[in-house]
């Protein structure tokens, strides 16, 4: 690997080296933003679970601590609370991930603009030696984005 990098730095033109450096910087930025988004989603999921447990479980515990006659009356409410909890968690997770997605998209907009400028610049330099490397790095960014969108 190190030998390949050394050979690349000897054979590639200065333009290709610059394009490759920018492409790798963009790859790191996109990867960092995706990891940050994943971290935010995990934190949101944990917070939503904790909130749901504290809200819904406390209602069920209160009903279970009532006397037998009141428990019979409140059994329907208890069953409803038990059924609503997973649906509420799903809805809250959907809302949280949508908000986080919008936030991350706002952060990615300037980087997407730089990536588009770089892609257009690369199209004009196709005859440069080793120019396929920055193309491949940009392709890795696109494939990763598509994969993470559907996962």
Segment 41-98, tens digit of pLDDT: 999 999 999 998 888 888 778 877 777 777 777 787 778 888 888 898 899 999 999 9
SS (H, E, C) the chain: CHHHHHHHHHHCCHHHHHHHHHHHHHHHHHHHHHHHHHHHHHHHHHHHHHHHHHHHHHHHHHHHCCCHHHHHHHHHHHHHHHHHHHHHHHHHHHHHHHHHHHHHHHHHHHHHHHHHHHHHHHHCCCCCCCCHHHHHHHHHHHHHHHHHHHC
- Alpha-carbon distance of 21 to 122, in angstroms, equals 13
Model confidence at 151, pLDDT cuts 50, 70, 90, reads low
Segment 126-142, tens digit of pLDDT: 777 778 888 888 898 88
Provide the 10 A C-beta neighbour count for residue 16: 20
pTM: 0.74
Q: What are phi and psi of 12, to 5 degrees?
A: -75, 150
């Amino acid at each position: 690997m190190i030998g390949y990098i050394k050979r690349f730095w000897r054979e590639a033109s200065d333009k290709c080296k610059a394009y490759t450096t920018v492409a790798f910087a963009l790859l790191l930025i996109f990867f960092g933003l995706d990891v940050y988004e994943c971290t935010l989603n995990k934190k949101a999921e944990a917070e939503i679970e904790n909130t749901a447990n504290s809200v819904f479980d406390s209602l069920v515990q209160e009903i279970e601590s009532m006397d037998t006659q009141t428990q019979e009356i409140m059994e329907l409410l208890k069953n409803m609370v038990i059924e609503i909890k997973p649906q509420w968690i799903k809805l809250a997770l959907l809302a949280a991930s949508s908000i986080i997605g919008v936030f991350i998209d706002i952060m990615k907009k300037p980087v997407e603009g730089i990536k588009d400028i770089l892609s257009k610049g690369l199209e004009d330099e196709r005859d440069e030696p080793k120019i396929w490397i920055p193309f491949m790095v940009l392709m890795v960014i696109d494939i990763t984005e598509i994969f993470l969108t559907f996962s």
